[in-house]
Chain A
């Protein structure tokens, strides 16, 4: 056990004194400031006397001139943070000649991966939690409406989900760092996958859904619903879709469905008025998404283990 603790503390110290950490903090705080700016401009629209969860609105509003909400920013930046924390975990140790020295000490190989992963996770948690608290604090000053207990709980859930989302990208980057000899290759591979997942999966899903169930402005609600279902099913292979849906349901208690389109259809066709769900029900709604994210993370992790355990550690 001393091995994993030693690796953990060393990595943590390394992270805190690294330029990488400063850059990542700047990036993520920039997202926070942008969010507050958007929120400040748009928070007043659409709020009536009996709007509930005003505090949560801070995190979800998006403006017309800057169509980015806080979750959007995070789903953009968290992968970058995760990749930056993991892409050179193992192969930089190898190229610097440290790996064979470290692994000739009495510690299990998985201690190296675990220690590094845990240290990255702590950094990730610090970044995500601090940005949420920062946005919350600045928002509180601005709107003067304190959060209710339910809102605080939802924010905690939001932080938790965001950390898991980052952990997935970090685990993926670690897997690549075990698989590829050079840090440049593993960084590029991670970023390529991120771009694919972030931009192209949704485009492809949209195209396939359009081909299978073509819809236009005059399509029946049934057709639109079927189109949306196909689109959702395909785009859910992307972790960023899973994250987006989860966050939306957690931050918008009124969301009775992970799909915004189906939600609107329900309101429109069924004439139902959206009522806020308790947190437990919201979590139940996105349970599949949440477990999928965790499973994907575990999969990447297992992959790194398998590759690393039987690998020959030669100093070259």
Chain B
């Protein structure tokens, strides 16, 4: 296998009394992926991240990062894993660079190396001008960016972000997402949890939808959309000038087309693969005119709503 599983959970369970927060979760994230962890509040996203880091103990099952058991070898896991908690906190009385200094010291980085790296990182997240300012004066967005620098100090192989875009302005969100995408380019495996779908859609290579502790769906956004809404099929929408029953019939006869629905001058065609070329040929053969034709794209919102309406 060329791709190696960096994050792996097996039958992971966490219960609080009678409440089951995470139920037999099997998850596998490969190197260099940006994995989006989706689900409504209380679905168990944060709990799963905490178990991956060894910040809480699983009731049963195992969580592994790069082969290290998160419960038994938390130090080894934390050495290679960065974590940005939701509503991250810094020491308000210390400056931005002093805060990062402390993190560097906790990671055992030598002083000179640390200060060079801190300058670089603050520059990267656009905070070098306020490096000597106390964090107490920072806005939420600035703290979040400082948090990303904080995660990067240890040069992690894996980075876990819990709701990284919650509560910051659109411009800030854009910046944060870009930084996270850049991390993945540097071979860092990223997991981010969120319930803000279009943010996730923008940067994630793969998503997992969590509901009541279960992983109800997993795959790329396209795959999930085809599976759930199109019933595993592609859907092509064609608007024609004069729809006739003959036209519908001849489209139905195209190899690969499974179903055609017509509504006014709109034809909804379900098919196994991309048949736009064949369909346009058929329409032309029937002396009809295509006004427009498009493949249906599935937004994460659609997929998400579909899952939760059902459950």
Contacts and interface: CB of A to CB of B under 8 A. Distances in A.
B308 interface: no
A272 interface: no
Interface stretch (B89-97, B177-185, B230-238, B250-258): B89-97
Interface residues of B, number: 32
B172 interface: no
A315 B105 CA distance: 22
Given A6-B106, A102-B106, A105-B107, A315 B75 contact: no
Contacts of A67: none
B85 A100 contact: yes
B106 A105 contact: yes
B82 A104 contact: yes
Contact of A2 (B57, B76, B92, B105): B105
Interface stretch (B35-43, B48-56, B119-127): B48-56
A310 interface: yes
A103 B107 CA distance: 11
Nearest to B106: A105
A107 B75 contact: yes
A104 B82 CA distance: 7
Given A100-B55, A101-B150, A312-B55, A106 B79 contact: yes
A141 interface: no
Nearest to A14: B93
Contacts of A2: 105-106, 108
B46 A97 contact: no
Given A104-B55, A106-B79, A107-B75, A315 B85 contact: yes
Contacts of B150: 101
Interface in A151-186: none
A307 interface: no
A313 interface: yes
B103 A105 contact: yes
A316 B50 CA distance: 13
Interface string B50-82: 100101110000000000000000011011011
Interface in A269-316: 310, 312-316
Nearest to A115: B106
Contacts, number: 84
B56 A3 contact: no
Nearest to B91: A98
Contact of A6 (B83, B86, B90, B105): B105
B281 interface: no
A98 B75 contact: no
B251 to A, nearest CB: 55
A108 interface: yes
A106 B81 CA distance: 9
A98 B78 CA distance: 16
Contacts of B93: 14, 17
A313 B55 contact: yes
Contact of A97 (B55, B81, B89, B103): B89
A107 B50 contact: no
Contacts of B162: 315
B91 A106 contact: no
A10 interface: yes
A2 B109 CA distance: 9
Interface of A: 2-3, 6-7, 9-10, 14, 17, 96-108, 310, 312-316
28 contacts: A2-B105, A3-B106, A3-B108, A6-B108, A7-B106, A9-B105, A17-B93, A96-B92, A97-B89, A100-B55, A101-B90, A101-B103, A101-B147, A102-B106, A104-B81, A105-B78, A105-B154, A106-B79, A106-B106, A106-B107, A106-B108, A107-B78, A108-B75, A312-B50, A312-B57, A313-B55, A314-B46, A314-B50
Given A312-B57, A314-B55, 6 more contacts: A96-B89, A101-B147, A313-B50, A314-B56, A315-B89, A315-B162
Interface of B: 46, 50, 53, 55-57, 75-76, 78-79, 81-83, 85-93, 102-103, 105-108, 147, 150, 154, 162
